[in-house]
Amino acid sequence: MIRVGNVLVSPGEGGVYGERTLEGYRVWDPHRSKFAALYTLGGGMELTPGMKVLYLGAANGTTVSHVADYAGTVYAVEFAPRPMQDLLEVARRRKNIIPIMADANRPDEYAPFMEAVDLLYQDVAQPNQVEIAEKNLVFLRPGGYLVLMLKTRSVDVRRDPAGVLEEARERLERRLEIVDVRWLEPYHHDHAAIVCTRRSIY
């Protein structure tokens, strides 16, 4: 990953969402992107030019655009019509983004468009966030990474966030190897990143 001083940046064409530029690079703001927050806090993995990414919960394409600056192909899944309009505009300017309007709960809807991916990235505000990740593991190649941005209050607003995180970790650990778990404070409140790799054999 590229940093200018201690600022995380990406190398693509700027002006996607009014982001700052620094020495010709796009500033990847950790306050606006949970993936950037993970990197800023010392986590994450290298995004490489040949990497294939399935991004669940693409929203308006803010983080998607930065991931696409580094990766080879980004399959960007979004369900809501309004953010999808913005995502389509982002994809128009970055030919390696494949926007897919579909429900991440229903991977069968986009399976015909998919190939094996190196990174499954999920940022979906649903109570069944871990279940969604499990359903989409079918696309993750052995040795690939899952990055789950766990929105604990979306799982259950009444429960202690630490308990929600521990339960999610234990469930993912049944099928994946946990690489890193960390809260995204001070950038995102009650959000945690769970980074896993898929074993060759379940």
How many angstroms separate the CA atoms of 197 and 20, rounded?
33
User: What type of residue is 66?
Assistant: H
Q: Is 73 annotated as a binding residue?
A: no
Q: Is 180 annotated as a binding-site member?
A: no
* Cα-Cα-Cα-Cα dihedral sign, residues 84, 108, 139, 104: positive
The number of residues making up the chain comes to 202
Residue 139 among known ligand-binding residues:
no
Q: Is 63 annotated as a binding residue?
A: yes
What does residue 15 show for φ and ψ, rounded to 5 degrees? 80, 20
- Helix 129-136 and helix 161-172: axis angle, to 10°? 20
21 annotated among ligand-binding-site residues:
no
Known binding residue 62? Answer is yes
Is 37 annotated as contributing to ligand binding?
Answer: no
Q: What is the DSSP string of 56-123?
A: E--TTSHHHHHHHHHSSEEEEEE--HHHHHHHHHHHHH-TTEEEEE--TT-GGGTGGG---EEEEEE-
104 is in an annotated binding site: yes
Q: Which residues are annotated as a binding site?
A: 62-63, 78-79, 103-104, 123-126
Q: Which residues are annotated as a binding site for S-adenosyl-L-methionine?
A: 62-63, 78-79, 103-104, 123-126
